[in-house]
């Protein structure tokens, strides 16, 4: 109670944005319908925004952001219409949207409780001066990666360890890829792409995967499709955690799934496939680190 009074006094006297639990409920209500319909896209947006520091800004000249424009537009409409700029930055709002997307997906998923996601919302992120757009190139990760590059990316950009990096990639259990966006096609967990559980890891282990070019000869998109039809797909950035794939410049692997040796991340794929709770714990840790990346100080909501 005392903490709350101190908080309110600071908010009234200082030139800082303060958001109360009541304000947050208002934000939650305004965003709920979008979070239900676009949970995966909001999660992807939350990730892309935090590469280079969470700052409520995206560069749409970068084709790797394709597919996020509509979500940014919808968020912008909600943000302006409700004057949320008096409460929180866009970066905070997008961070909250990512969390709301996750919570909506969890509410649809049997065997996962909201309490399993151990993340809390904090505010204090600062927008870039041209929010919500920018022309700064924050260097998004390539799709055609090997394991070393993948964990190197998460260590370098977020200070994550290997386990946290592999856990965060489990976000791909949700949503999918579209030809009109990235050129890749399908969901990682076909038929279950609206759920948030450890199926991504289970599926990676239970299937035999075959590489297929879903693009064209001149503009190839090599992805891994499950042998069992309509079961799922994986990108090189996913499969490299299980198999040691060596790829050419187009992303085509020199070895078949059976021929490729195990990757250094394989034991973590087994760990997360075997224990949903250990995955959710490490995912929560990694997601919290991701959303705290940038030049700002976060504070709790009392
Ligand atoms: C090296 C790392 C990663 C690469 C190369 C990568 C690449 C991609 C690609 C190519 C797509 C398909 C986009 C489309 O066609 O619409 C995608 C979708 C997605 N990504 Fe990632 N991703 C990475 C890491 C992550 C992380 C860390 C998260 C979240 C924390 C994430 C969340 C998502 C989600 C939820 C989707 C589905 C979006 C939708 O259905 O609208 N990704 N990613």
pLDDT in tens, 119-161: 999 999 999 999 999 999 999 999 999 999 999 999 999 999 9
| Pairing status of strand 186-187 against strand 261-262 | unpaired
For residue 13, is pLDDT > 70? Answer: no
- Of the pLDDT bands very low, low, confident and very high (cuts 50, 70, 90), residue 4 is low
Average pLDDT over residues 254-281: 97
What pLDDT score does 243 carry? Answer: 98
pLDDT-derived band at 15 (thresholds 50, 70, 90) equals very low
Mean pLDDT of 64-81: 98
- What length does the chain have? 302
Buried b (16+ CB within 10 A) or exposed e, 171-192: bbbbbbbeeebbbbbbbbbbeb
Residues having CB closer than 6 A to ligand 1 are 40-41, 43-44, 47, 67, 141, 143, 145, 150, 153, 168-169, 171-172, 174-178, 181-182, 184, 235, 237
Residue with CA nearest ligand 1 atom 17? 177
Domain membership flag for residue 64: yes
Residue 291 in any domain: the answer is no
Judged against a pLDDT cut of 70, whether residue 165 lies above it is answered with yes
Residue 292 lies in a domain: no
155 and 277 co-located in one domain: yes
> Candidates 62, 174, 175, 285: which one to mutate for ligand 1, based on the most atoms within 8 Å of Cβ?
175
Q: Ligand 1: which of 71, 150, 172 to mutate, most ligand atoms within 8 Å of CB?
A: 172
pLDDT score recorded for residue 229? 78
What mean pLDDT is predicted for residues 15-43?
92
Regarding whether 153 and 48 lie in a shared domain, the answer is no
Is residue 230 classed as helix, strand or coil in its secondary structure? coil
Does residue 2 register a pLDDT over 60? no
The pLDDT of residue 8 is 54
Task: Over range 40-57, report the average pLDDT.
Answer: 98
CATH number at residue 165: 1.10.420.10
Query: What local confidence, expressed as pLDDT, does residue 302 receive?
Result: 81
Look at the chain and report how many structural domains it folds into: 2
Work out the number of other CB atoms within 10 angstroms of the CB of residue 256: 12
List C-alpha distances in Å: 177 to 67, 190, 194, 287, 289. Answer: 9, 11, 13, 21, 25
For ligand 1, atom 13, which residue shows the shortest CA distance?
A: 177
* Span 91-118, average pLDDT: 98
Q: Are residues 62 and 163 in the same domain?
A: no
> Can you tell me whether residue 261 is helix, strand or coil?
strand
Domain with 169 in it: 147-283
What's the pLDDT score for residue 112? 97
Q: Same domain for 97 and 186?
A: no
The answer to whether residues 30 and 91 belong to one domain is yes
Output the pLDDT for position 9. 53
Task: Say yes or no to pLDDT of 14 above 50.
Answer: no
How high is the pLDDT of residue 82?
Answer: 98
Could you tell me if residue 34 is inside a domain? Answer: yes
Residue 81 has pLDDT above 90, yes or no: yes
Residue 243 in contact with residue 140, Cβ under 8 Å? no
Asked if the structure places residue 128 within a domain, the reply is: yes
Confidence of residue 1 (pLDDT cuts 50, 70, 90): low
Query: Does 181 lie in the same domain as 103?
Result: no
Q: What is the pLDDT of residue 6?
A: 55
pLDDT at residue 11 in the model: 58
């Amino acid at each position: 109670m005392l903490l709350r009074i101190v908080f309110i006094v600071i908010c009234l006297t200082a030139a800082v944005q303060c958001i109360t639990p009541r304000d947050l409920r208002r934000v939650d209500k305004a965003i709920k319908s979008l979070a239900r319909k676009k949970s995966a896209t909001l999660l992807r947006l939350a990730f892309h925004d935090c590469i280079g520091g969470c700052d409520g800004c995206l560069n749409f000249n970068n084709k790797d952001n394709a597919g996020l424009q509509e979500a940014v537009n919808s968020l912008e409409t909600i943000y302006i219409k409700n004057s949320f700029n008096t409460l929180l930055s866009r970066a905070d709002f997008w961070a909250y949207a990512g969390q709301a997307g996750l919570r909506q997906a969890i509410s649809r998923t049997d065997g996962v409780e909201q309490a399993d996601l151990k993340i809390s919302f904090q505010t204090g992120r600062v927008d870039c001066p041209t929010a919500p757009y920018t022309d700064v190139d924050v260097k998004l990760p390539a799709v055609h990666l090997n394991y070393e590059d993948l964990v190197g990316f998460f260590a370098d950009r977020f200070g994550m360890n290997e386990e946290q990096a592999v856990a965060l990639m489990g976000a791909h259990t949700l949503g999918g890829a579209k030809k009109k966006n990235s050129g890749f096609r399908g969901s990682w967990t076909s038929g279950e792409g609206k759920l948030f559980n450890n199926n991504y890891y289970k599926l990676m282990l239970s299937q035999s995967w075959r590489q297929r070019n879903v693009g064209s000869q001149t503009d190839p998109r090599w992805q891994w499709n499950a042998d069992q039809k309509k079961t799922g797909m994986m990108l090189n950035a996913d499969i490299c955690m299980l198999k040691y794939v060596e790829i050419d410049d187009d992303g085509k692997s020199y070895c078949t799934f059976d021929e490729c040796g195990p990757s250094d991340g394989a034991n973590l794929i087994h760990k997360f496939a075997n224990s949903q709770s250990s995955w959710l714990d490490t995912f929560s840790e990694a997601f919290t680190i991701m959303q705290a990346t940038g030049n700002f100080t976060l504070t709790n909501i009392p």
